């Protein structure tokens, strides 16, 4: 059952937040949806946006400037939370921002205590879309995008589910979590020490293993403080070149990791996805 907790008319459509009980995550979850004016008369395609570390549904919906363009294009936007929540949900013992609450990494955890709740992959791929398609005027045309940890999630989910998404895009994604401190910390906790198991949630490894190509766009700020140590876009570019995988990669001088960067180029991403909706 969905509980509507906020509703705001914007650009002729509606931004709404809902709370529901997630069977997959074993807790209550919140998501936001933007329904464009066109949804009043017909079903519309939907873009799923996955946010980064420490974020909720509100960061993208309030800061990205995406709603005006989505209204024009007749595209619904759905933004889930970044992890399970609640008093019973495990968190990092030291309160670290890069593990536990707000840091679900869009995978299915296999290690205790995380495995009882941290199954964000199944939530994003299956449970949430089923809920959206049951209760809202959207069709089965889906695209997926995200930022940072959410960019990692968007790319890996699209690569692991050929045909489910018409396109994928990311801002400043964690491209190769096997090789960066953020990914190594989270994957060790959530998945254990077997690095072979990690590869199923790594965009570089998925492309190198022969994942089916799909339209993919990545934008990166050249002044991003996490660029060299954590994001490693050069590994994604090399894998795409090795496998002749078509990747639209753009590096932007002066831009950082913030929503100022996302707001500057979100229109190009929405129009990129719109080209691939039927």
Query: Which residues participate in catalysis according to the annotation?
Result: 148, 224, 257
- Asked if residue 45 lies in contact with residue 35, where contact means CB atoms within 8 angstroms, the answer is no
For residue 87, count CB atoms less than 10 angstroms from its CB and return exposed for 0-12, middle for 13-18, buried for 19 or more: exposed
CA-CA-CA-CA dihedral for 278, 48, 211, 248, to nearest 10: 70
Q: Which residue has the tokens 């209204």?
A: 71
- Residue entry with tokens 């954590």: 230
Q: Which residues pair with 147 in a beta bridge?
A: 171
Of 138, 135, 145, 149, nearest to 165 (Cα)? 145
> What distance in Å separates the CA atoms of residue 171 and residue 180, rounded to the nearest whole number?
17
**DSSP secondary structure letters along 56-69:** -HHHHHHHS--HHH
List, in sequence order, the alpha helices (H) in the chain: 57-63, 67-73, 120-122, 128-135, 149-160, 181-191, 195-198, 203-208, 233-242, 259-276
* 220 and 147 Cβ atoms separated by less than 8 Å: no
How many Cα atoms are found within 13 Å in the side-chain-facing hemisphere of 54? Answer: 5
Let me know: does 173 contact 250? Beta carbons within 8 Å: no
């Amino acid at each position: 059952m969905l509980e509507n907790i906020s509703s705001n008319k914007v650009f002729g459509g509606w931004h709404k937040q809902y709370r529901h009980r997630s069977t997959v995550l074993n807790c209550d979850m919140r998501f936001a949806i933007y329904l464009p004016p066109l949804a009043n008369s017909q079903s519309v395609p939907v873009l799923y946006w996955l946010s980064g570390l420490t974020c909720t549904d509100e960061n993208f919906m309030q800061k990205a400037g995406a709603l005006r363009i989505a209204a024009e294009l007749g595209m619904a936007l759905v933004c889930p939370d970044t992890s399970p929540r609640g008093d019973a949900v495990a968190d990092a013992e030291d309160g670290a921002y890069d593990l536990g609450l707000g840091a679900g990494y869009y995978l299915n955890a296999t290690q205790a205590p995380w495995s009882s709740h941290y199954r964000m992959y199944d939530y994003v791929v299956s449970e949430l879309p089923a809920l959206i398609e049951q209760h809202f005027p959207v069709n089965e045309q889906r695209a997926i995008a995200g930022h940072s940890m959410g960019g990692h999630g968007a790319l890996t989910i699209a690569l692991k589910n050929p045909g489910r998404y018409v396109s994928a895009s990311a801002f400043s994604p964690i491209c190769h979590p096997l090789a960066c401190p953020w990914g190594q910390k989270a994957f060790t906790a959530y998945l254990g020490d077997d690095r072979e198991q990690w590869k199923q949630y790594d965009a570089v490894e998925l492309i190198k293993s022969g994942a089916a190509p799909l339209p993919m766009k990545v934008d990166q700020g050249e002044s991003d403080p996490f660029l060299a140590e954590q994001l490693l876009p050069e590994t994604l570019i090399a894998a795409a070149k090795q496998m002749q995988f078509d990747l639209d990669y753009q590096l932007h001088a002066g831009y950082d990791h913030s929503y100022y960067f996302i707001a500057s180029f979100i229109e190009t991403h929405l129009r990129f996805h719109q080209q691939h909706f039927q």
